[in-house]
C-alpha cells in the first residue's frame, strides 16, 4: 500500500480555465495525519509508517487502545492506517503529513465505499437482458433465466450471477487527475467522479501505475500558447498593413492625359 491520506468527499463542482474549458471535479477535504509509529525491516521485515487520522473521544476507546496512545503521548485517533515506504529516514514519530505529499503528483488512486442500492434483481445488478417483453412470456419478463444444471452435478455453482445485495462495496478508481489543490483549506480537486455518497470517508493514495498521459492542465497550456501565437501573427499583419504606402487609384482626368 503506497503512501496516502484519508479525507471526506464534499461533493462535485466544475473548474473553469482561461481558454473557456470547464472540467467536472470532485472536492475532497483532506485531514492531516500524525505518524504514530515507524516500522523498519529489522522490526517486521518491511519499511512502513503507521498514521492516525481524525479525532475520537477517549470514552469510546478500549483499554488496549488507550494504552497505545498513552505510550505514544498523542491524542487518540479514530482511524489507523499503515503505509509501505521506501525510505524510513524521511519520517519521524509525532510529525504530521498533509497535502504536501501530493506536491509533484499528477494522478492519484482513490478507494471508497460505493453507494448501497439494497436488494437488486439480475437485470439491474448484472445487466442481464431478461426474457421477451411481448408475446408468450408469462410474468417472467425480468427473470434471470436458468441457474442450475441437470441431475449431475445437481447444484448451483458458487459465484453464479444472481439477484442480491447491490453496492456498498469498497472500490478503487485508478489514475484520477489532480486539477487543483488548496493547501490552506486542505482541499483537493480531482477530475471526474468518485465512488460513494457525500461525506463518505475515502482513501487518497499515490498512483501505482506509471502512465504517460497528457493532463488537462498541460492541454490547456498548449491551447494558451497556440492562441498567443495566433494573436501575435494577427497583430504583425495589422502593423504591416498600416506601414505599407497607400496606392491611389488614378482619376478619369489623369487616365485621359
Domains along the chain?
4-118+165-212 (2.40.30.10), 119-146 (no CATH)
| 113 pLDDT above the threshold of 90 | yes
**Residue 8 grid coordinates:** 471526506
| 253 pLDDT above the threshold of 80 | no
How large a percentage of the chain has pLDDT more than 70?
93
pLDDT category at 170 given cuts 50, 70, 90 is very high
pLDDT category at 210 given cuts 50, 70, 90 is confident
Higher pLDDT pick, 103 / 118: 118
Rounded average pLDDT over 10-26: 91
DSSP secondary structure string for all residues of 132-161: -SSSS--S-TT-------BTTB-SPPTT--
| 229 pLDDT above the threshold of 70 | yes
| 77 pLDDT above the threshold of 80 | yes
| 255 pLDDT above the threshold of 70 | no
- Cα–Cα dist 191/55, whole Å: 29
Pair 33, 53: CB distance under 8 Å: yes
| Residue 165 pLDDT | 96
| 254 pLDDT above the threshold of 70 | no
Among 39, 34, 42, 43, CA closest to 84: 39
Cα–Cα distances in Å, from 170 out to 4, 14, 110, 114, 196? 16, 26, 10, 6, 9
Rounded average pLDDT over 193-219: 91
What mean pLDDT value characterizes the chain?
Answer: 88
- Cα–Cα dist 49/101, whole Å: 14
Rounded average pLDDT over 147-176: 92
**pTM of the full structure:** 0.80
| 62 pLDDT above the threshold of 70 | yes
| Residue 48 pLDDT | 93
| Residue 146 pLDDT | 87
| Residue 36 pLDDT | 92
Neighbours of 201 (CB within 10 A): 16
| Residue 242 pLDDT | 66
Chain center to CA of 251: 73
| Residue 205 pLDDT | 93
Q: Which residues contact 152 (CB under 8 A, 6 or more apart)?
A: none
| Residue 244 pLDDT | 62
| Residue 31 pLDDT | 87
| 248 pLDDT above the threshold of 70 | no
Amino acid at each position: 500500500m503506497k503512501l496516502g491520506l484519508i479525507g471526506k468527499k464534499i461533493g462535485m463542482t466544475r473548474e473553469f480555465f482561461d481558454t473557456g474549458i470547464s472540467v467536472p471535479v470532485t472536492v475532497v477535504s483532506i485531514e492531516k495525519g500524525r505518524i504514530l509509529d515507524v516500522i523498519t525491516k529489522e522490526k517486521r521485515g518491511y519499511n512502513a509508517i503507521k498514521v492516525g487520522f481524525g479525532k475520537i473521544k477517549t470514552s469510546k476507546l478500549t483499554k488496549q487502545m488507550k494504552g497505545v496512545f498513552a505510550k505514544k503521548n498523542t491524542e487518540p485517533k479514530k482511524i489507523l492506517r499503515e503505509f509501505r515506504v521506501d525510505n524510513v529516514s524521511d519520517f519521524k514519530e509525532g510529525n504530521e503529513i498533509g497535502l504536501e505529499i501530493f506536491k509533484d503528483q499528477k494522478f492519484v488512486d482513490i478507494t471508497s465505499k460505493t453507494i448501497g442500492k439494497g436488494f437488486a434483481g439480475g437485470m439491474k445488478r448484472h445487466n442481464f437482458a431478461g426474457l421477451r417483453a411481448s408475446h408468450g412470456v408469462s410474468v417472467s419478463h425480468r427473470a434471470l433465466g436458468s441457474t442450475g444444471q441437470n441431475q449431475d452435478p445437481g447444484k448451483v455453482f458458487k459465484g453464479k450471477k444472481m439477484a442480491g445485495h447491490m453496492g456498498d462495496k469498497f472500490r478503487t478508481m485508478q489514475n484520477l487527475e489532480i486539477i487543483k489543490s488548496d493547501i490552506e483549506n486542505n482541499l483537493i480537486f480531482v477530475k471526474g467522479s468518485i465512488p460513494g455518497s457525500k461525506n463518505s470517508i475515502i482513501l487518497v493514495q499515490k498512483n501505482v501505475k506509471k502512465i504517460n498521459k497528457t493532463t488537462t492542465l498541460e492541454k490547456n497550456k498548449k491551447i494558451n500558447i497556440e492562441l498567443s501565437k495566433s494573436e501575435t501573427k494577427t497583430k504583425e499583419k495589422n502593423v504591416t498593413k498600416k506601414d505599407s504606402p497607400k496606392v491611389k487609384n488614378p482619376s478619369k482626368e489623369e487616365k485621359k492625359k
